[in-house]
């Protein structure tokens, strides 16, 4: 059931159920909440596949692009780095402009960057394209969770999030298998070209099925954005590339541990700044007072570290 809104427009359903029928928390014009999952799952599947699909193609990329092992290593590192660093910012963009527009933009960027990756004729161009692909992935990921949380009623939300989590697991494992198939059958370019038709289908489904949700026009917290991006970049870069530099000197007086330490210090500054701003912060710290929220983040981080670590080396 919907309640009349001022001016006669239909508002979102006031309850999560109507008799024995479970209805979404927003008006989907008679559709089930499950109808929003296909574009979200397709987009998230591509994101997670691309964290591991390149690994199997490393020898081929070295040969065909005449590149060193270190340079080819950046094909994966560039994607993961831009993806991880921009997640917090992407979440706030979703709050400010709505999950649907940000997801659609991210999906379009990811799909076009995938085509750019496949068309790259040099290792430098491929790394640059992977950076852009990571930007698209970062824009999409927070919106998938936001959509599920804000559309699915509590009775169905757990099952929907379970399917979302299973997608990450299946995609991460499927990456090397699909990579080997494409490299052996059609060439390394197809580990990226395969995203294009999938992305086009997901884009059409997103435009047709995803609802526009209410936005939050809170302050943007520019200082928080800068601190989070700089801190996460230094920390993730140091941890990700430490082995490349034998955990020693990067250049001149700059060491791997110095970069990691600087990242930690900046992130401490970020936390203190967030505490000062309260609810207007980029990441309100009161969220961590919820045991379920905190445990879910710890569990998700642990699983991601384990699964990506297995396939990254």
Kindly report, residue by residue over 111-144, the tens digit of the pLDDT: 999 999 999 989 999 999 999 999 999 999 999 9
Which of 158-167, 187-196, 197-206, 266-275 is predicted least confidently?
Answer: 158-167
Q: What is the pTM of this model?
A: 0.82
First to last CA, the chain: 53
Distance CA 86, CA 76 (A): 16
- Mean pLDDT computed over 1-30: 51
223: how many CB neighbours lie within 10 A of its CB?
16
297, 287 contact by CB (below 8 A):
no
SS3 assignment, position 11: strand
Distance CA 154, CA 22 (A): 10
């Amino acid at each position: 059931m919907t309640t009349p809104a001022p001016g006669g427009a239909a508002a979102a359903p006031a309850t999560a159920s109507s008799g024995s029928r479970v209805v979404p928390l927003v008006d989907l014009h008679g559709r089930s909440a499950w109808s929003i999952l296909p574009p979200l799952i397709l987009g998230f599947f591509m994101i997670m596949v691309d964290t591991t699909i390149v690994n199997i193609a490393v020898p081929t990329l070295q040969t065909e692009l005449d590149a060193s092992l270190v340079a080819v290593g950046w094909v994966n590192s560039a994607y993961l780095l831009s993806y991880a660093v921009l997640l917090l910012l992407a979440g706030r963009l979703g709050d400010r402009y709505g999950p649907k527009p940000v997801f659609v933009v991210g999906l379009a960027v990811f799909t076009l960057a995938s085509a750019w990756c496949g068309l790259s004729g040099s290792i430098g161009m491929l790394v640059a394209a992977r950076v852009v692909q990571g930007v698209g992935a970062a824009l999409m990921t927070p919106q998938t969770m936001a959509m599920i949380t804000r559309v699915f009623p509590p009775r169905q939300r757990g099952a929907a999030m379970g399917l979302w989590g299973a997608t990450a697991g299946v995609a991460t494992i499927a990456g090397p298998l699909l990579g080997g198939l494409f490299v052996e059958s059609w060439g390394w370019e197809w580990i990226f070209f395969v995203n294009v038709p999938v992305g086009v289908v997901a884009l059409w489904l997103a435009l047709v099925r995803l609802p526009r949700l209410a936005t939050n026009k809170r302050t943007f917290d520019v200082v928080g954005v800068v601190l989070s991006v700089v801190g996460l970049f230094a920390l993730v870069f140091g941890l990700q590339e430490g082995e490349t530099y034998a955990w020693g000197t990067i250049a001149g007086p700059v060491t791997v541990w110095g970069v990691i330490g600087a990242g930690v210090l900046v992130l401490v500054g970020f936390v203190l700044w967030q505490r000062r701003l309260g609810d207007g912060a980029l990441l309100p710290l009161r969220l961590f007072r919820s045991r379920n929220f905190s445990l879910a983040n710890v569990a998700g981080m642990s699983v991601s570290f384990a699964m990506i670590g297995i396939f990254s080396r």
